[in-house]
Amino acid sequence: MEHVIDIQHLSKSFGAHEVLKDIDFSVDKGEVVCIIGSSGSGKSTLLRCVNLLENPSGGRIIYKGVNILDDNHDVYAYRTKLGMVFQQFNLFNNHNVLDNCIVGQTKVLKHSREDAKKVAMKYLKVVGMEQYINAKPKQLSGGQKQRVAIARALSMEPDVMLFDEPTSALDPEMVEEVLKVMKQLAEIGLTMLIVTHEMEFAKDVADRVVFMDGGVIVEEGCPEQIFNNPTQERTREFLKRILK
């Protein structure tokens, strides 16, 4: 299988605090990988290192055969290939829904506005927000904001989508509408790396589940293995706590 992203010996420290320790991990094309683990285990940091919102302290991130941590590598071009969805949505407050999905295409990818609009409408339709293109972010509910944020990331037509707890800031009744969209993306074969506390969703949608604890990957495997027959004591403890 072809790796879209291949992470080797990745480490990250904040001062003396070593948050990620020697992480080896890859994502294949079309794969849906869910990262689970307790709070503070380094899941967000791993995701943020992958698109270089955090600067890794060591290791390699191989994308298309080159290490993007090499000094002369174009970070900005690389980031356009990864779509990021944040827990807090982070829609651009000064743009309406449509422009949120267009601005990256026109300003970064240098596409024409007409082309950008077609692409944006396509993905806004995917997330079911095409009727709201004139709305400003502050006029939307949390679930709607997150769906627009997903459309914004998709509009860049990235190779991989990264999700950092996309439903954790949502009221319970809005979680489902976002998970539904994500499930739909998984079905059409999008490559996705998802940090989540939604165990049912992970069981249901993931091709592979990664359990992290204390800055290391403790165990990874298909959902049946991780949830039904974990080999590691730490995984068992975590699942017992969270699924009780």
Give the count of alpha carbons within 13 A of 121, CB side only: 8
Cα dihedral across residues 32, 166, 44, 55: positive or negative: positive
Closest residue to Mg ion, Cβ-based? Answer: 44
Judged on CB neighbours under 10 Å (0-12, 13-18, 19+), 135 is middle
| Token pair of 120 as six digits | 């944006």
Least distance CB 49 / ligand ATP (angstroms): 9
Lay out the site mask for Mg ion across 37-76 (x = CB under 5 A, - = otherwise). Answer: -------x--------------------------------
Residue 45 binding partner per list another protein, ligand ATP, Mg ion, none, with a CB distance cut-off of 5 to 8 Å that depends on partner kind: ligand ATP
Contact track, ligand ATP, 20-59, x by CB under 6 A? -----------------x-xxxxxxx--------------
Q: What are the φ and ψ backbone dihedral angles of 194, each rounded to 5 degrees? A: -125, 120
Helix, strand or coil, per DSSP, at residue 83: strand
Helix (H) or strand (E) holding 3: strand 3-14
Instruction: Tell me which residues touch another protein (CB under 8 A).
Output: 2, 4, 29, 51, 53, 55, 76-80, 82-84, 86, 88-96, 103-104, 107-109, 115, 118-119, 121-123, 125-126, 130-136, 139, 149, 152-154, 156-157, 159, 184, 188-190
Q: Considering beta carbons, is residue 120 or 209 the nearer one to another protein?
A: 120
